[in-house]
Structure 1
Amino acid sequence: MLDMELLLPSGEPVTLPTLLSYRSHDPLAVRIVFHTDGDGQVLWAFARDLLAQGLRRPSGQGDVQVWPGAVGAVGHEEVLNLALSSREGTAWLRAPLHGVAEWLERTYRLVPAGRETDGHDLDAELSRLLPGTA
């Protein structure tokens, strides 16, 4: 569990308990579950590579954008910013950059970068998903 901050339109942060998850059988994606008031949950899934790139530089377009930054009076606390957009609107969130980086490193120990498709027949999967392309 990781606490992220949801930034309200006023700029005021609200703590949002968050669960980062990774599944080695779906190695290209990461999932973030935001726990809202009561028993509510909001799930977002996006590319693991996008999250990794966002630790170092602004990355992503459209629904998910990720970039590093700093907050605090002297700008020493490094954060990871996430902008998530849907039909309902856009949410801007911040997380401790170091905590996300450590979690992401553990995913790369499970499935190293560049090895995500090992053992998968991508042509067969595409043919199954897109009939008539074989």
Structure 2
Amino acid sequence: MSLRYEPTDPYAVRAAFFTDTDELAEWVLGRDLLADGLTGSAGCGDVRVWPAVGRGDHAMYIALGSPSGTALLEVPVQDVKAFLENTEALVPRGAESGHIDWDLALANLFAKG
């Protein structure tokens, strides 16, 4: 799994991974959801994240669900922590709204309507 972060979309993390059919799947996860899942159960519905019990602080799980199937990913905690620290160096938690181009976001909303 690879994680990608864009400061222009500061609340989101993009997770890409290959499925058992060798197709690339990409999911958009909330950055706060991923951070909350480091220490406890977070999320409901299509995306859930939680620490792997009995694995110390070495792994966490990300469960993804959609009408076409489900996936359970086991991810190294240290990799996720390092990734989140890098995102927070770009956009500190709590400062996300200052990094959004609101004029562009509204223009995109109205263009789709």
- Which bracket does the TM-score occupy, shorter chain normalised? 0.7 to 0.9
Bigger relative CO (Cα 8 Å, ≥ 6 apart): 2
Aligned residues with identical type, % of pairs: 42
Give the number of the structure whose alpha-carbon radius of gyration is greater: 1
- Contact 2:63–2:72 at 8 Å: present in 1 too? yes
Displaced runs of 4 or more, over 6 A:
none
Question: What residue ranges of structure 2 are gaps of 5+ in the alignment?
Answer: none
- Alpha-carbon distance change, 37 to 122 in structure 1, aligned in 2, over 3 angstroms: same
| Cross-structure match for 1:67 | 50
Q: Which amino acid aligns with 1:42?
A: A
Question: Is 1:105–2:94 an aligned residue pair?
Answer: no
Tell me, in whole angstroms, the C-alpha distance in 2 between the residues paired with 1:78 and 1:70.
10
Q: Does the Cα contact within 8 Å between 1:35 and 1:41 map onto a contact in 2? A: yes
Give the CA RMSD over aligned residues. 2.3
Q: TM-score, normalised by structure 2?
A: 0.83
1:85 aligned onto 2:65: yes
Q: Are residues 1:94 and 2:94 paired?
A: no
For 1:30 and 1:42, how far apart are their aligned partners in 2? 14
More strand by share: 1
CA contact (8 A) 1:70 1:78 kept: no
State whether residues 83 and 90 of structure 1, in contact with CA within 8 Å, keep that contact through their aligned partners in structure 2: yes
